[in-house]
Homo-oligomer: A and B are copies of this chain.
Amino acid sequence: MQQEYDINKVNPLLARERKGVSFDVSKMTNLLDGGIEKTKAKQRASEIVYADEVLRDRTVQYMRREENMAHEWKRVARAIQISRKHDLTPEEEHQLMYYVGSNSGFSSTHSSMFAPTLANQTNDEQRKKWLPLARDYKIMGTYAQTEIGHGSNVRGLETIATYDKESQEFIINSPTKTSIKWWPGGLGKLANHAVVYAQLVIAEKNYGVHGFIVQIRDLEKHKPLPGVTVGDIGPKLGFASVDNGYLKLDNVRIPRDQMLARYSSVDADGTYHKPIHAKIGYGTMMFVRTHIVYNASDYLARGVTIAIRYSAIRTQFPPKGQPQKTHLEIPVLDYQTQQYRLLPLLATAYAFHFVGDYMMGLYNKLQQGIKKNDLSLLPLAHAATAGLKAITTETTANGIEECRKCCGGHGYSHLSGLPELFASYVPNCTYEGENVLLLLQTAGFIIKKVQSNKFMPEVNHEQSAARLDVSDLDSITNSYARRAKLDALHTAQGLNKLTKDTNNDYNKAWENSTVNLVRMSRSFLMYVIVHQFSQAVKEIKEDDLKKVMDKLCRLYALYNMDKECGEFDGLNIHEVRSSLQQLLKELRSDAVGLVDAFNFPDFLLRSALGRFDGNAYDHMIDEAMKQGLNTKEGDEYMRNAFSEYVKPLQQLKSKL
């Protein structure tokens, strides 16, 4: 059937949208990428992937898990070979992997956690030995922290590393059922090494959780070493091609120099050297959280691209009051309700882009400081990564799901690309810190600041609220600032009062205030996001870009203000709402341009609905007809099943 339609043409509805865009889309792409050179580099990486049939092939929907996993190993390994053949720089190789878009132990753990841990948590000697092995894939590693019984409470891990002075070795053990390592990506089938986190015990004294480099499989036959029980934990939501695994260690011995020794170490005689800061050993976590914040925008932008392009070509219903004629039907993006669902998400994808930049900048500043033993940024960086990780991942996961629902029935089809996008993203809400706990960490930072009168001193909360000017970004940002400050002061007061009411038991009062504390963190983080977004808008030089971005930023801020309107004082809610509706109307015609600017190639989106050409139905029909169940074999298989199981029912005695 597919030959009936020419799928190389752009759907006229989408072509029309593109004509109406008010700004230069390529310039917006450059702005997002950080300069035209970066855009070009991305383009080159994208072309390498597109040109290679294996790299491009992500059709794993019909495979069993093991086939799927092997298929991804094949693709990533090939990408690495190609990268080395082309002599790509590490940054170029990273770009290439982005377009390969593989979810496997390679990306989920080896490259994003194992290698960075070796880079950041080792002393010079260790780094020199181990890092090249990992970066050249001579060893494959995983990051074995979480246990079946302990995730969030890292300090409560049960795995034990006992120092044996005689042999100068650590003896690593999983002493209980709940101490079995559970979840590390790439552990189940891929890794031959692991960084294992365990309680360090020297001469019967516990020195807390430390990391150890442990070989778990031999490099030749890839079989578990003695004392190692390892396997795959089974199917999950998303990550079908990642072998999240379990690991039980029974008296596994490793040499003394395999404890990660950048910040703390053990001498041959068992003398322990503690780190300069208690939290510094968790550097990998902050690194990963920073990247999670940085990547949120990219994922949400994919969902929004698919949903907005599809909404521009999906026509349904003529305008109210017009006759029921197919040619009179209008794109669903013309509907106010659809705009109200999608355009704020589009604005959020832009907001998170700049928040990601801010977070990455803060992280890099912290790292520079640490090199000079300056840890002054650590508390802020810790609070910001924790809180922003929570807000951005929650919003992105929910946003992708909303994009999916905005595509109606077709959003459920894997041909839309959206179910997979959601499944591959949503674990971000949980790993590297469950979101609610992270918000409480941010709350700890805020309360401390309030207690020392150092929380947002620039905001004068004693003045009564200025009237909100919905057309002015500064005025809107100030409202958010004021809300954040008042909420913090009020929550801190409540905490104090509760402490007094409970016999000065601060800890108990804290535990009975966590719902309020989480709310307070959200208020603060929403301010941070609005502030960063509006600052970024101010810095834009091109008028056309600046104008549309100013609208996007106000849309983002007012939309969220409306949702929590009970929390802002001095607010005329009707004014906010009518301003919102006005912004929807104004941004409507730029919607397709704003998603085009994200510049995702079709092969990355993998969505019949979200393709650049807008010919959703052609591609759906084409792909559905080709799939396995409709081949001769597939059809025969099902007809045999029918004849074996269903047909005998025709002989049932009627009961009617």
Residues of A within 8 A of B (CB): 1, 4-5, 61-66, 69-70, 73-74, 77-78, 80-81, 84, 87, 131-132, 135-138, 140, 146, 148-153, 155-156, 158, 177-178, 180, 182-183, 188-190, 219, 221-223, 229, 231-239, 243, 246, 248, 315-317, 319-321, 324, 326, 329, 335-338, 340-341, 401, 404-405, 408-415, 418-419, 426-427, 429-431, 434-436, 440, 507-508, 510-516, 518, 564-567, 573, 577, 581, 617-618, 620-621, 623-625, 627-630, 634-635, 637-639, 641-650, 652-656
Contacts and interface: CB of A to CB of B under 8 A. Distances in A.
Contacts of A645: 70, 73-74, 77-78
Given A233-B413, A237-B414, A515 B155 contact: no
Given A617-B149, A650-B138, A624 B234 contact: yes
A319 B511 contact: yes
A222 B148 CA distance: 49
A232 B621 CA distance: 11
Question: Which secondary structure dominates where chain A touches chain B?
Answer: helix
Nearest to A132: B656
Of the candidates A69, A73, A412, A516, the one having the most CB atoms from chain B within 10 angstroms of its own CB is A412
A235 to B, nearest CB: 4
Contacts of A235: 61-62, 413-414, 627
A297 B618 CA distance: 39
A409 B151 contact: yes
Given A61-B234, A156-B324, A646-B140, A617 B178 contact: yes
A550 to B, nearest CB: 22
6 contacts: A77-B645, A81-B649, A137-B652, A231-B625, A319-B511, A337-B515
Given A236-B414, A512-B336, A628 B155 contact: no
A84 B412 contact: no
Given A627-B232, A646-B73, A440 B136 contact: no
Given A324-B156, A507-B320, A65 B628 contact: yes
Of the candidates A238, A317, A618, the one having the most CB atoms from chain B within 10 angstroms of its own CB is A317
B411 A510 contact: no
Nearest to A72: B645
A316 B436 CA distance: 14
A234 to B, nearest CB: 5
Contacts of A77: 645-646, 648-649
A586 to B, nearest CB: 13
B430 A412 contact: yes
Given A137-B650, A149-B617, 12 more contacts: A5-B177, A77-B646, A132-B656, A136-B656, A137-B646, A148-B620, A152-B408, A182-B620, A219-B650, A234-B627, A336-B514, A565-B566
Nearest to A248: B1
A270 to B, nearest CB: 22
Contacts of A430: 405, 408-409, 411-412
A174 to B, nearest CB: 11
Contacts of A180: 621
Of the candidates A410, A415, A513, the one having the most CB atoms from chain B within 10 angstroms of its own CB is A410
Contacts of A409: 146, 151, 182-183, 430-431
Contacts of A627: 232, 234-235
Given A80-B652, A515-B340, A617-B178, A153 B221 contact: no
Of the candidates A183, A341, A440, A624, the one having the most CB atoms from chain B within 10 angstroms of its own CB is A624
Contacts of A618: 177
